[in-house]
């Protein structure tokens, strides 16, 4: 495979995933096989908006040794596992897409998929939870790949998709989200108006106390805000960027007070408020809050109230603060 073209393909694929809100900020990763022994992979902690061809890292599939201007993705082990299992796979994409993540929490028993879709995805399997970047996660993903399935839902984490071409990998990512979107429970009849910013005096008041903030609604946010129960971290990217929970409060004063501690809050009968240091982080928080609410609605409807262990939340939060946030500040 021509290395220059592969670098270009990976950069363009990253932008496609970002535009379709299948990843946020620096989460998710992409790789492409060069030959039997090496692949190219996205770097750790670099926003897809800023990623250039020179940032892509060369990685040995067997040893994990790498060469480049930046460190390889912390999730390199699951990419290495995929290439080791499937010699004809040329692209591996790890996403944090919202509906696939929600379905991964509860398994395949509620998935609405036909035979043709199953074949196009080359099978779908569930990988047990392992901390991001760990050997435990690599082994859990490899257990699924060993069975011949090329699409993996990772509990508390996201999805991994293999493809023979860039186009097939992207097609599978989109098909997976389509299948999982219609399979998520508790969202029936909730509407499909996406993320809608809220304007007006109340929104202005909430934004006024913070340098960067937004007030918004989504169907899942509206459901969770109306219910009134706090949203606990079920997915590791929420644990990293938000923490243990998203509080649900009853009025603006309570929201302003809670936002001094938490970067995201739900307000009953209003929506969600997020605050951050940059517009990019506000955008990422909007996506994370929506996904957290979708996961919450789905798991509650399935009567499978799932959340990350406190120790995992603390570890993920520290990892984010010590690694990804630091790298972003250094750019």
Interatomic CA distance for residues 267 and 138, integer angstroms? 39
The number of angstroms, rounded, from the C-alpha of 292 to the middle of its chain's C-alpha atoms is 10
Poorest-pLDDT segment among 10-14, 310-314, 318-322: 318-322
Residue-level pLDDT at 250? 94
Indicate whether 73 pLDDT > 80: yes
Give me the count of residues in the chain: 331
pLDDT at 286 over 80: yes
Q: Is the pLDDT of residue 97 over 70?
A: yes
Burial class (CB in 10 A: 0-12, 13-18, 19+), 300: middle
Contacts of 116 (CB under 8 A, 6+ apart): none
Give me the pLDDT at residue 329, please: 53
pLDDT one-digit tens code per residue, 99-119: 999 999 999 988 999 999 999
Q: Domain 3-183 sits in which CATH superfamily? A: Class II aldolase/adducin N-terminal domain (3.40.225.10)
pLDDT of residue 25: 78
Mean pLDDT value of segment 238-263:
94
**Cα 86 to Cα 156: distance, rounded to the nearest angstrom:** 25
Burial class, 220, CB count within 10 angstroms (exposed 0-12 / middle 13-18 / buried 19+): buried
pLDDT at 330 > cutoff 60:
no
**What CA–CA distances, in Å, run from 172 to 145, 161, 317?**
16, 7, 31
Report domain extents, the chain. Answer: 3-183, 196-330
For residue 64, count CB atoms less than 10 angstroms from its CB and return exposed for 0-12, middle for 13-18, buried for 19 or more.
Answer: exposed
Backbone angles phi, psi at 75, to 5 degrees: -95, 20
Mean pLDDT in the chain?
93
Residues forming a β-bridge with 41:
31, 57
- pLDDT confidence of residue 122: 98
Q: For the residues 242-265, what does the mean pLDDT come to?
A: 94
Q: How far is CA 323 from CA 71, 206, 240, in A?
A: 12, 30, 11
Phi, psi (deg, nearest 5) at residue 200: 115, 180
Determine the pLDDT at residue 327. Answer: 57
Distance CA 274, CA 216 (A): 9
pLDDT of residue 207: 84
Q: For strand 124-127 and strand 66-67, is the pairing parallel, antiparallel, or unpaired?
A: unpaired
3-state DSSP assignment of residue 323: helix
Q: How do residues 170-212 score in pLDDT, each as one tens digit? A: 999 999 999 999 999 999 878 778 899 898 887 888 888 888 9
What is the pTM (predicted TM-score) of this model? 0.94
Query: Nearest 5°: CA angle at 202, between 296 and 221?
Result: 10
Q: What is the pLDDT of residue 326?
A: 57
Q: Is the pLDDT of residue 318 over 80?
A: yes
% of the chain exceeding 90 in pLDDT: 82
Parallel/antiparallel/unpaired status of strands 245-246 and 248-249: unpaired
Mean pLDDT of 75-96: 98
pLDDT the model gives residue 322: 75
* pLDDT recorded at residue 204: 85
Q: For residues 233 and 313, give the distance between their C-alpha atoms in angstroms, rounded to a whole number.
A: 7
Q: 137: Cβ–Cβ under 8 A, 6 or more apart, which residues? A: 75, 77, 78, 127, 129, 130, 131, 154, 157
Q: Using the predicted structure, report yes or no on whether residue 324 has a pLDDT greater than 80.
A: no
Six-digit token pair at 98?
Answer: 């919202």
What is the per-residue pLDDT across 213-227, written as a single tens digit (0 to 9) for each? 999 999 999 999 999
- Domain at 196-330, CATH class: alpha beta
The predicted structure's pLDDT at residue 96: 96
- C-alpha R_g of the chain: 19
Average pLDDT over residues 116-137: 96
Q: Which two tokens stand for residue 328?
A: 């972003």
Question: Are the folds of 3-183 and 196-330 the same?
Answer: yes
Q: What is the pLDDT of residue 328?
A: 54
């Amino acid at each position: 495979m021509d290395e220059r073209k592969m670098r270009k393909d990976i950069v363009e694929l990253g932008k496609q995933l970002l535009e379709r809100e299948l990843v946020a900020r620096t989460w998710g990763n992409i790789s492409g096989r060069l030959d039997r022994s090496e692949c190219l992979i996205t770097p750790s902690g670099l926003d897809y908006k800023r990623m250039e061809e020179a940032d892509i890292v060369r990685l040995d599939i067997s040893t994990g040794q790498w060469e480049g201007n930046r460190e390889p993705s912390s999730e390199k082990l699951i990419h290495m596992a995929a290439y080791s299992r499937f010699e004809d796979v040329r692209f591996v994409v790890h996403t944090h897409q919202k509906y696939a993540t929600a379905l991964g929490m509860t398994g395949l028993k509620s998935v609405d998929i036909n035979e043709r879709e199953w074949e196009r995805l080359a099978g779908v399997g569930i990988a047990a939870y392992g901390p991001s970047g760990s050997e435990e996660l690599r082994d859990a993903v490899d257990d699924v790949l060993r069975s011949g399935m090329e699409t993996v839902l990772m509990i508390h984490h996201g999805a991994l998709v293999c493809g023979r071409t860039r186009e097939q990998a992207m097609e599978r990512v989109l098909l997976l989200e389509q299948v999982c979107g219609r399979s998520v429970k508790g969202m029936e009849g909730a509407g499909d108006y996406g993320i809608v910013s809220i304007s007006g005096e109340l929104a202005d008041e909430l934004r006024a106390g913070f340098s960067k903030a937004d007030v918004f609604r989504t169907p899942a946010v509206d459901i969770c805000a109306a219910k009134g129960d706090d949203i606990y971290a079920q997915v590791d990217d929420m644990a990293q960027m938000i923490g243990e929970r998203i509080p649900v409060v009853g009025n603006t004063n309570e929201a302003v007070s809670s936002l001094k501690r938490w970067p995201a809050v739900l307000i009953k009968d209003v929506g969600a408020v997020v605050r951050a240091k940059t517009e990019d982080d506000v955008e990422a928080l909007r996506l994370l809050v929506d996904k957290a609410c979708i996961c919450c609605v789905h798991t509650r409807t399935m009567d499978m109230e799932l959340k990350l262990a406190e120790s995992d939340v603390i570890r993920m939060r520290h990892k984010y603060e010590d690694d990804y946030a630091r790298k972003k500040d250094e750019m």
